Structure 1
């Protein structure tokens, strides 16, 4: 008879961005379903954005732990997140986070977890844990093609799956001399998103696979010229759309949606389009049967969600890992990448063409829709295999740590 495995206590500390905090929460839920107790540490403003997603089911197994970083005159508490953070303060936030190491050390001394899972930019968290005998694991939410570096971790968890990056996982493990374990896509589960009745009521009235969702994430902002070309593309495509339009902190108080869009755009598209300011429930929208395409900046989390729900991508990468991700989207046949001109500009005509291709394209474009459905099927059929491997490795690491302590 198999002995029941003990409940392990895990402290998680993601980087201060919604695109990191959200998948950490999804990882926390999947571990909580397997008899782990999770303490998810972040700043109060970041925790407030995910509080509602810790439902009654997880109220005892997932605890949100406030992690305070030093406030400064130019970095008040509402800037203790990268969401809406002015560009010139990003390095300030990183330095402030580094200075918070002593308070984090006190947290893990109090909680006495069995394992720490930490994010990039936070090597100090790993050092703090290992000095008091807690094994640390690096959870990287980026694709395997992005350089990894973490000296003190035991295992590197990757938000990906073997069918997508199998050979790179093996290559990366050999290169780094550390085991890389895929976690699966960590997309939000059905019914896990906050509701937005206006958007969902509008979407429910459209035909199946007739609508394209347009979003560039929480930290990428279109220039005025880019907004104009995206708007032109949506107008020319004659396809239904939901467009989440965000402005940088410096601009959001100076400009309205109406002022940012081309003159008369909202009137011309009428009920065919819905422009939403700042935020929309992305996972809930992408899983809706009336959505058939996704115009995306190709943040890794967005790509994982699109593939999980079988939605083809029109890629307009902005920065960071996004150009690499966009190339991957095209290489594996689940989307098309918009070309930029020599000055980095976009073409509204090409955006319109690509949107129509993924939504109502002919036989060649049908391959993209078939590929996305096949990818969705692979992810679904694999189920929780990746997470089962994550759990097994965590138990092995815990057992190894106990053995080494006993040897001492």
Structure 2
């Protein structure tokens, strides 16, 4: 047993400080641990505390935490060591403060002397730290390869037509995205200048995806980046049974099969008053059963009753449930009574819905979400709620999409498509992870190590 422990590969993982980034790192950590790796997850205490319940006790010896304490900065209040609840204007400040913790990351790597560092693409500077210690490293992109390939194309081939017409930003999205793209282009150029001058021969990037979902986009991303891009397959694991929200699950169980939609727009996006009102009326007009998770920014003193149209709760009666803050998403999506997922199309939510075989009613809001929505429509897993030329939501369009998904002919086609994708993800996921392990083993084999 001692010999076996001595030969196990050791990996340090360094995610960006957002729950949407940490979650796929945890999934990858579990899969690597299942294949004999020892994994050290490095993040701030508040982020590590948020994932402790997602790692069963059986992983206690193979997945361990490294607490990274960020230095104080006049630009960032001390309570903001995570993007959860972080105002958008402070995101760059958080990145700078995390970079200031480079000496502590260096100390961890010197002490542990791991076989490999897997770092988030947001933390690109970590590559140089690993190189200085002769530790192989690989970057991990936690969002969709399709979105990454689209924006990489725009930055590296300006003026050239993107080769996949299914992924297109609409005019109102182009306006909203132009500033973001300009900002990301500046970051891209700055980060490229920070990269290792001599790119390693085995330069590789992992993506939180599967070739079943976006194989051609993975290949194109590899072509444009000139990196080997390797998909990790599905990291989804069925939710552990618990007593959380028993009343809500009991309510759901009383509904007919596939009759209910789950409505949630992620943990870091907050609806505008106008959108919230249209969604409320759309749910009311649809006649469909629903569970709606409502979230409000930290410090914003507003009740659910104030946010909703007058008399909304009374009119929907037992047809709907409104949950404030949090709901057991995977448990609800995996329930037989759930027939659709009304989503902003965050990537983790998309992969979760595909794995559980739930059709998607796409209502993207910003950032990568429009690209993810178009991808889901392209593979036959979603219907997108149409907006007007200004990008505004309308209740009638939402109600029609809900009714068709839950009870219409196109909804039946969606269900068949998503079921097929779900089965293929399960079948192919293990093979993709085996391929990842084989690639990582190559990286771990190097001529010398620094003691």
TM-score, normalised relative to structure 2: 0.84
Does residue 1:225 correspond to 2:274, yes or no?
yes
**What is the distance in 1 between the residues matched to 2:364 and 2:242?**
25
Structure 1: runs of 5 or more not aligned? none
State the shift of 1:71 in Å. 2.9
**What is the distance in 2 between the residues matched to 1:46 and 1:337?**
32
State the shift of 1:190 in Å. 3.6
Structure 1 residues 24-54: Cα deviation after superposition (integer angstroms, max 9, x where no partner) = 1111011100100010111111111111122
State the shift of 1:192 in Å. 7.4
Bigger Cα displacement from structure 2, 257-266 vs 67-76 = 67-76
What is the match of residue 307 of structure 1? 354
State the shift of 1:387 in Å. 0.8
Native 8 Å contact 2:270 2:296 kept in 1 = yes
What is the match of residue 369 of structure 2? 322
Aligned residues: 398
Native 8 Å contact 2:10 2:38 kept in 1 = yes
What is the match of residue 67 of structure 2? 66
Does residue 1:102 correspond to 2:148, yes or no?
no
State the shift of 1:201 in Å. 2.4
Native 8 Å contact 1:312 1:372 kept in 2 = yes
What is the match of residue 437 of structure 2? 391
State the shift of 1:132 in Å. 0.2
**What is the distance in 2 between the residues matched to 1:31 and 1:287?**
25
What is the match of residue 352 of structure 1? 399
Structure 2: runs of 5 or more not aligned? 153-187
Question: Superposition pairs for residues 126-137 of structure 1, below 5 Å?
Answer: 126-137=127-138
What is the match of residue 380 of structure 1? 426
**What is the distance in 1 between the residues matched to 2:374 and 2:108?**
41
Structure 1 residues 326-371: Cα deviation after superposition (integer angstroms, max 9, x where no partner) = 1111111111111222332101111111011111112x33211111
What is the match of residue 333 of structure 2? 286
Native 8 Å contact 2:127 2:137 kept in 1 = yes
- Select which of 179, 182, 185 maps to 2:228: 179
TM-score, normalised relative to structure 1: 0.93
Native 8 Å contact 1:293 1:313 kept in 2 = yes
Native 8 Å contact 2:232 2:429 kept in 1 = no
What is the match of residue 181 of structure 2? none
What is the match of residue 205 of structure 2? 156
Does residue 1:254 correspond to 2:301, yes or no?
yes
Native 8 Å contact 1:38 1:61 kept in 2 = yes
Does residue 1:19 correspond to 2:20, yes or no?
yes
Native 8 Å contact 2:234 2:426 kept in 1 = no
**What is the distance in 1 between the residues matched to 2:107 and 2:63?**
19
